[in-house]
Structure 1
Amino acid sequence: MNATQCKMARVATGLGVRELAEKANVSPNTISRLERGEDLKKSTIEAIREALEISGVEFIPENGGGAGVRLKIVKT
């Protein structure tokens, strides 16, 4: 997950920085640092990614069109 993917995913789910930080058990400053493109520990990035995935985000790998995100389809 890169900085752009994080911000896109957060906005798509309607989460604020503080809300995502709480879900990932990190500080809001950590979310801001990631979204600015600063280096973080791999385990921290994984915790944030997991929180976003639980919130309904699917990460799309680089496939020629750039890495991205989408919301998971919920089947009822």
Structure 2
Amino acid sequence: MQIRSKDAILTPAQCKMARAGLGIGIRELAEQAQVSTNTVSRFEAGEELKGRTVTALQAALEAAGVIFIEENGEGPGVRLRKA
């Protein structure tokens, strides 16, 4: 499942992978994206959210150093920016 808004390409799986790569929990991501922890949990469980909410999650993860890789035939993914 891929949720798209104008600039968001974030999938629930990418969100989980990004958090794991950064070593942050749901609470920390929620705080950085200025959404509730329940919102992050619902998104990662596959519930559809408003585009602006997905964009906020994606922006927070990108600001923390995540690069999102769009579907390229092998599936979407994540990468951490070099320090």
With normalisation by structure 2, the TM-score equals 0.87
1:61 aligns with 2:74: no
Unaligned runs of 5+ in 1: none
> 2:54 is matched by which residue type in structure 1?
I
Distance in structure 2 (CA, Å) of the matches to 1:30 and 1:11: 18
CA RMSD of aligned residues (A): 0.5
Unaligned runs of 5+ in 2: 1-9
**Would you say how many aligned residue pairs link Structure 1 and Structure 2?**
74
Q: Which has the higher helix share?
A: 1
C-alpha deviations, 1:46-71, integer Å up to 9, x for none? Answer: 00000000000000000011000010
Distance in structure 2 (CA, Å) of the matches to 1:14 and 1:54: 14
Distance in structure 2 (CA, Å) of the matches to 1:24 and 1:9: 14
Please point out which of 26, 40, 43 is paired with 1:31: 40
C-alpha deviations, 1:10-38, integer Å up to 9, x for none? Answer: 11111100000000000000000010010
The sequence identity of aligned pairs, in percent, is: 57
With normalisation by structure 1, the TM-score equals 0.95
Distance in structure 2 (CA, Å) of the matches to 1:20 and 1:73: 20
- Structure 1 residue ranges, 4+ long, deviating more than 3 angstroms after superposition: none
